[in-house]
Amino acid sequence: MKRISDDTRNSAISLLQSGLSARDIGVRLGVSKSTISRISKGRYTGLTKSKGGRPKLLSQKDESYCVQQVTRKRVPNAVKVAKGIELDLGI
């Protein structure tokens, strides 16, 4: 396996910190995507990893309100809770 220079490694770390993907960094620096991934997983652990997925629409308080509506038998099913939330909160 061919070693990369310290200059390239430092550049990769700074680009990772700026939020670029491993693929984009690899294209910019002329190294493989797996090399960039190895740098991010290996020695440099200060990177924050993206949570991923879709952001939640309901807050924790809204979620517990929905659960209470169903468990306390105020609303017969979750579909009606969803419609009520849509009308009340506009979500």
Contact between residue 77 and residue 54 where contact means Cβ atoms under 8 Å apart: no
How many distinct structural domains can be found in the chain? 2
Secondary structure E strands in the chain: none
Contact between residue 15 and residue 28 where contact means Cβ atoms under 8 Å apart: yes
Q: Is residue 46 part of a domain?
A: no
Q: Is residue 66 part of a domain?
A: yes
Q: Is residue 49 part of a domain?
A: no
Q: Is residue 12 part of a domain?
A: yes
Tokens of 32: 């493989």
Split at pLDDT 50, 70, 90, the class of 74 is confident
Note the pLDDT tens digit of each residue in 26-68: 899 999 988 888 888 766 556 566 677 888 888 898 888 888 8
Q: Is residue 84 part of a domain?
A: yes
Tokens of 25: 């960094």
Q: What distances in angstroms separate CA 46 from CA 36, 41, 51, 72, 89, one per listed residue?
A: 15, 10, 15, 46, 39
Residue range of the domain that includes 34: 6-41
